[in-house]
Structure 1
């Protein structure tokens, strides 16, 4: 597929991963009433109610999973739905959003390494350059430009939770690429969400009281529905489709857009300060994504188009 035809795919991935940034703010609102496990369960329970009938209608000829496939799908539900989201919402409740967004944005490093190791995907110099630029921007955002001071302070317990989330999401992304060799994006997502929801259900039922349900206001429920429909159903499908078209390594670069949107939304809805470091970091992120996804300079494609016109 030519670079020109890939731009709609890049825009789709940019929208999907930017939308994930809103989950940080929505998660903060939701965890004010419910515990992280319950928020995770409710998010994917409502998403499953949409995805299951959608899959039944649109994927009538979907392949039947084998025993090996079930193991793969269970791994997707465990890593990307159950464990990752417990860690994510724990961070949303106890950690600053800008800090959480950096840890999550570091996913591409591990995803690219795992993709090259297990999926044998080619890692180009442009991928590496784009990755370095994007991660540099993410580091600037999270540290407010005080990188050395952050390194001296060391890791906090919540940082270990976020690091665990990074590992789980990287595994989920790479396993998802394997699943897409047999199943469609819709089918893979539906199986993963349904399995993850079933894993979360007993823990959510145990820790949630009826008084918590009654105490949840419209902001809490709106946040949960937003994460279910927009962040989960729509964005997950877009991300999976992007992985299928351009590969897990290149698609993972777009995850660096998530901290940018998270910071912007945190400033708007949570009154967190917008600093010059955030703006500079965002510029690095966008530059990194552009460099990492472009296989050849734009002027080369322009020269080829002119040559074809001249030849015709």
Structure 2
């Protein structure tokens, strides 16, 4: 099969896994595991996997000058990002999380304009306003509570913080990707994340009754560690070898689509007029931010 087709399949699979994750992860919180305990399981499991697979990559030493950036990437990409997302998911709904997470390109543009003085055009400025407006609709006009979603507005706010944190992580990690092998970067980021997350998450992790977990909870936890955290990164790395970053970014629209279909089909969430309006605003905003004036080839 053509390598470009394989890359497109890889990018699609990564987005599909992310889309399913909103409902799968929600399905075990807080009945079987609290959100912070789930984060420890996620980063600890991923750290083991990335250190194991790193033996197949080159042996590289991190330059002393790069350690502050490595530390910052772990803080924003594997600590604040993950803690706020899972805590938000325990409070809100899968559809809300999948829609708001799509704002990541908008957050990246805002942060890039502040940190690296990247110019924002009028169209992109309008996209920021429209996209954030959609998120604000979810925060202000969603029902305050529902079954298994005790504080939807607060959860939605945590999703926005999560998107900002992940956007900052993308900006910080970009220079490292040109200097080090992906395995080298990820094994250190996740090891640091385990150490930082430990005092915050270990209490909820040890509170889990591991011996009495049903199979449903076990496979969902395994999906988050092996699928959402480990496999998606490898799939995106493979896709980036054949496709441009702009092509890869287009797949972000698949995530909420798949999340909504899966959540509604399994009865985990339902569509409402507010969610539809908010989703359309967010999608329009992200499109306006990511659209290129000139056509680029993948």
Fold match (TM-score > 0.5): yes
For residues 67-86 of structure 1, the aligned pairs below 5 Å read 67-86=64-83
Q: 2:5 aligned with 1:12, yes or no?
A: no
CA RMSD, 1 decimal: 4.2
Q: Distance in 2 between matches of 1:119 and 1:241?
A: 28
Measured after TM superposition, the shift of residue 208 of structure 1 is 3.6
For the structure 1 residues 228 and 199, does the alpha-carbon distance in structure 2 shift closer, same or farther, using more than 3 Å as the test? same
Measured after TM superposition, the shift of residue 214 of structure 1 is 3.0
Aligned to 2:38: 39
Give yes or no for contact 2:92–2:153 (8 Å, CA) kept in 1: no
Measured after TM superposition, the shift of residue 198 of structure 1 is 2.2
Measured after TM superposition, the shift of residue 46 of structure 1 is 1.6
Aligned to 1:150: 141
SS at match of 1:30: coil
Q: Distance in 1 between matches of 2:253 and 2:277?
A: 14
Q: Distance in 2 between matches of 1:148 and 1:20?
A: 22
Q: Distance in 1 between matches of 2:21 and 2:165?
A: 17
Deviations 1:189-241 (A, max 9, x none): 22222221222223332234455323422222211111111111121233356
Give yes or no for contact 1:41–1:201 (8 Å, CA) kept in 2: yes
Unpaired runs of at least 5, structure 2: 145-151
Q: 2:91 aligned with 1:100, yes or no?
A: no
Measured after TM superposition, the shift of residue 113 of structure 1 is 3.3
Q: Distance in 2 between matches of 1:267 and 1:216?
A: 25
SS at match of 1:198: helix
Measured after TM superposition, the shift of residue 180 of structure 1 is 0.4
For the structure 1 residues 93 and 121, does the alpha-carbon distance in structure 2 shift closer, same or farther, using more than 3 Å as the test? same
Q: Distance in 1 between matches of 2:295 and 2:257?
A: 25
For residues 1-312 of structure 1, the aligned pairs below 5 Å read 9=7, 11-31=9-29, 32-60=31-59, 62=60, 64-115=61-112, 118=115, 128=124, 139=134, 150=141, 156-209=153-206, 212-239=209-236, 246-247=244-245, 251-273=248-270, 292=290
Measured after TM superposition, the shift of residue 19 of structure 1 is 1.6
Counting matched residue pairs gives 285
Q: Distance in 1 between matches of 2:255 and 2:117?
A: 26
Q: Distance in 2 between matches of 1:123 and 1:188?
A: 30
Rg comparison, structure with higher value: 1
TM-score, structure 1 as length reference: 0.72
For the structure 1 residues 117 and 209, does the alpha-carbon distance in structure 2 shift closer, same or farther, using more than 3 Å as the test? closer
Unpaired runs of at least 5, structure 1: 302-312
